[in-house]
Structures are given as structure tokens and as C-alpha cells.
């Protein structure tokens, strides 16, 4: 049985084909969910919780970022938990939404000298952790979240995205 019920929506041209994104999302998010469940003792509901993964553009994510965070600029990923929970607490049947902007992913991947898919993988993991109550509003939270991201990405065969960089995920 899958740990997650992933609903995918592509709102913008230029993204890889839906089949590619769906396969990638299943691999990345099931790995993240498995890590949380086995390594972090994260509780899960008896049924596979649903999450929405929205692939959009900078214009759309900028409007969402302005409305919900008061920041009038595009960003790479936004997460909207269906219900606020603290790490370790059992979520409900709906985890929430993760929204990702293609142009920002492309730009950041080029700046970081990473492949588009590798950077997208990182952002999926990052957004997913937010749905489970992880955050990075202060240094202590950021260290915990970044350590988790690094471990999950290692399971996926990717290197530490923070190693040797001052670039951290935006709060």
C-alpha cells in the first residue's frame, strides 16, 4: 500500500510531461514519507493521506506568495498544510498542497549548477516536510529541517544541497 495519495496538477506549459512528474513525485514523496515513518517515527493515518502537488509558473506563485505571505515576489515552493500539526503528530486524511514555480526552479538549478530534476526533487522534499510541521523560521528549526532534507535526499542518491553554500531556503 502506498503511504500517500498524490494528486498532481500542471497549470503551466514548459514542465516535463505529466507521466515524468507523476513518477518523480511518487518516488520522491514516498521516499520522504517512508523516511519520516521509519527514521523519525512519524505517525500516519490508517488510510493513505492525500496531498496536492501543483506545478505552476512565477506569475501564479508570486500572486499566491503576495496573498498568503505578504511577499510580492515569486518563490520556488510554497506549502499549505490542510491542518497545522507539529512534527511527529498524526496528520489527517488530507496533508495539504505544495505549489512549485517552474521558472524559479530552472533559474535556481542553473545558479546552483544542478540538474532541473535534482533541484525539483529537493523542493518537493522541502515542501513535503512543511506539511508535517517542519519549518525554518529560526536557526534551530532550520538545522532540523535541513538535516532531514539531506538524509532524505541521500536516500534518493542526491548530495547535501546545503553543503558549502550560504544559500538557504527562504522562510
Q: What is the pLDDT of residues 127-141, one digit of tens each?
A: 999 999 999 999 899
Does a structural domain hold residue 39?
A: yes
Instruction: State yes or no: pLDDT of 25 exceeds 70.
Output: yes
Closest CA to 111 of 122, 119, 101, 102: 119
Position 164 in a domain: no
Cell triple for residue 163? 553543503
Could you read off the pLDDT of 83-123 as tens digits, one per residue?
Answer: 999 999 999 999 999 999 999 999 999 999 999 999 999 99
Cα dihedral 71→110→150→44 (10° resolution):
60
Q: What is the reported pLDDT for 168?
A: 46
How large is the average pLDDT for residues 3-30?
97
Q: How many domains does the chain have?
A: 1
CATH of the domain at 105: 3.40.390.30
The CA dihedral of 57, 58, 60, 65, to the nearest 10 degrees, is: 130
CA atoms within 13 A on the CB side of 99: 19
Helices 102-112 and 58-69, axial angle in degrees (round to 10): 100
Spatial CB neighbours of 36, under 8 Å, sequence gap ≥ 6: 42, 132, 148
Residue 22 lies in a domain: yes
Residue 3 — pLDDT band, cuts 50, 70, 90? confident
Asked whether residue 161 is domain-assigned, the answer is no
In this predicted model, which residue has the larger pLDDT, 39 or 171? 39
Instruction: Give the structural domain span for 113.
Output: 5-155
pLDDT band at 163 (very low <50, low <70, confident <90, very high): confident
Q: Which burial class, exposed, middle or buried, applies to 156 when counting CB atoms under 10 A from its CB (0-12, 13-18, 19+)?
A: middle
pLDDT of 154 higher than 90: yes
Predicted TM-score (pTM) of this structure: 0.94
Amino acid at each position: 500500500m502506498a503511504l500517500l495519495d498524490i494528486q498532481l496538477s500542471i497549470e503551466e506549459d514548459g514542465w516535463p510531461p505529466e507521466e515524468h512528474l507523476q513518477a518523480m513525485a511518487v518516488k520522491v514523496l514516498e521516499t520522504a514519507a517512508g523516511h519520516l515513518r521509519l527514521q523519525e517515527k512519524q505517525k500516519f493515518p490508517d488510510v493513505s493521506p492525500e496531498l496536492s502537488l501543483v506545478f505552476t509558473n512565477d506569475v501564479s506563485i508570486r500572486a499566491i506568495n503576495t496573498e498568503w505571505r505578504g511577499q510580492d515576489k515569486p518563490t520556488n515552493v510554497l506549502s499549505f498544510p490542510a491542518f497545522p500539526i507539529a512534527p511527529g503528530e498524526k496528520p489527517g486524511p488530507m496533508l495539504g498542497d505544495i505549489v512549485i514555480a517552474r521558472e524559479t526552479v530552472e533559474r535556481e538549478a542553473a545558479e546552483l549548477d544542478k540538474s532541473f530534476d535534482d533541484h525539483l526533487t529537493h523542493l518537493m522534499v522541502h515542501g513535503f516536510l512543511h506539511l508535517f510541521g517542519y519549518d525554518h523560521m529560526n536557526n534551530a528549526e532550520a538545522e532540523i529541517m535541513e538535516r532531514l532534507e539531506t538524509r532524505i535526499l541521500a536516500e534518493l542518491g542526491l548530495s547535501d544541497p546545503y553543503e558549502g553554500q550560504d544559500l538557504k531556503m527562504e522562510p
